[in-house]
């Protein structure tokens, strides 16, 4: 990987960097975050600050600040006199995260059912159609990792749009923090036999309830979606 510098004349396509005027440690945090979420740095992995700093062409100070940022997000665990490690999420905590996400996102979906505009619901429906089309292609190429990544991305956008339309900044912030931690292991559950198509059916039930503007059915459908997600992740 090309070094990260606060100032550089290199071709941007050839260097890993964030857009100025972001502080250097924020740029480094973004790079490490992506490596963690893409499973390039696996849960439990020790983060070699010196080697990474050398690879990215930076001093250890912005590297340490970046690690502190990721620690506040729950992606990194700092152990006294041992250094920083990619967070491992115990099964008990996975259950807690799914429980909280179910409560928060079902609450958000209820708000959407009651208050969203027709245009906002249309946008959600478009995302759902995208999920259906991706699932159809996966039927022809089962287990294709690129298509699974695409489905995962569309799924995230669907849930993110519900949060955006619900217009509760604090709820969205909490959900985003929880989802980042959940992503440490969540992606693997989509590879389980039948989970993608089951997830699609759950999304369809949520979407139908939203279009009917049935708040109670929407809440129940979202809670069921997270309960099934927890079973798949177990």
pLDDT at 14 over 80: no
- Indicate whether 10 pLDDT > 50: no
Using alpha carbons only, how large is the chain's radius of gyration in Å? Answer: 20
Do 91-233 and 12-86 have the same topology in CATH? Answer: no
Phi and psi torsions of 85, nearest 5° = -130, 150
pLDDT for res 148: 82
Q: Single out the residue of 115, 103, 93, 68 nearest to residue 181, CA to CA.
A: 93
In the prediction, which pLDDT does 143 show? 74
pLDDT above 50 for 15? no
pLDDT given for residue 187 in this prediction: 52
Among the listed ranges 11-20, 32-41, 105-114, which one has the minimum average pLDDT value? 11-20
Map residue 85 onto helix, strand or coil. Answer: strand
> What is the average per-residue pLDDT within 150-171?
95
Q: What is the structure's pLDDT at 9?
A: 42
Confidence category of residue 16, pLDDT binned at 50, 70, 90? low
pLDDT at 20 over 70: no
Q: What is the DSSP letter of 171?
A: H
Mean pLDDT across the stretch 76-98? 92
Work out the pLDDT band at 91, boundaries 50, 70, 90.
confident
Q: Where are the alpha helices (DSSP H) in the chain?
A: 24-37, 49-56, 60-72, 91-115, 118-140, 145-166, 169-189, 195-211, 215-233
DSSP bridge partners of 84: 78
Can you give the pLDDT at residue 45? Answer: 96
- What span, in angstroms and rounded, lies between the C-alpha atoms of 179 and 232? 16
**pLDDT above 90 for 146:** no
Residue in 127, 204, 201 with CA at minimum distance from that of residue 158? 127
Query: What is the pLDDT, as a whole number, of residue 197?
Result: 86
Is the domain 12-86 a CATH 1.10.10.10 member? yes
User: What is the percent of the chain with per-residue pLDDT over 70, rounded to a whole number?
Assistant: 86
- Reported as a pLDDT band with limits 50, 70 and 90, residue 152 is confident
Q: Which two tokens stand for residue 131?
A: 């999920």
pLDDT band at residue 28, thresholds of 50, 70 and 90? very high
pLDDT of residue 92: 87
Average pLDDT of 108-112?
98
Instruction: Reply yes or no on whether the pLDDT at 48 is more than 60.
Output: yes
Topology (CATH) of 91-233? 1.20.120
Average model confidence (pLDDT) across the chain: 88
Question: What are the residue ranges spanned by the domains of the chain?
Answer: 12-86, 91-233
């Amino acid at each position: 990987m090309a070094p990260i510098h606060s100032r550089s004349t290199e071709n941007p396509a050839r260097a890993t960097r964030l857009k100025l005027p972001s502080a250097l440690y924020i740029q480094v945090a973004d790079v490490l975050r992506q490596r963690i979420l893409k499973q390039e740095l696996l849960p439990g992995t020790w983060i070699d600050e010196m080697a990474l700093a050398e690879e990215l062409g930076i001093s250890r100070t912005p590297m340490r600040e970046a690690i502190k940022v990721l620690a506040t997000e729950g992606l990194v665990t700092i152990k006294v006199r041992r250094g920083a490690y990619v967070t491992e999420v115990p099964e008990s905590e996975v259950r807690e995260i799914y429980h909280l996400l179910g409560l928060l996102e079902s609450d958000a979906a209820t708000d959407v059912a009651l208050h969203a505009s027709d245009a906002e619901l249309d946008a959600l429906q478009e995302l759902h159609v995208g999920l259906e089309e991706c699932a159809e292609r996966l039927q022809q190429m089962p287990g294709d990792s690129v298509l699974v990544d695409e489905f995962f991305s569309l799924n995230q956008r669907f849930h993110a749009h519900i949060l955006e339309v619900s217009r509760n900044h604090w709820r969205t912030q909490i959900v985003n923090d929880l989802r980042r931690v959940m992503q440490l292991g969540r992606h693997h559950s989509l590879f389980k036999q039948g989970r993608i198509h089951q997830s699609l059916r759950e999304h369809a039930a949520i979407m139908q309830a939203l279009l009917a503007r049935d708040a109670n059915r929407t809440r129940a459908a979202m809670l069921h979606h997270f309960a099934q997600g927890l079973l798949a992740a177990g």
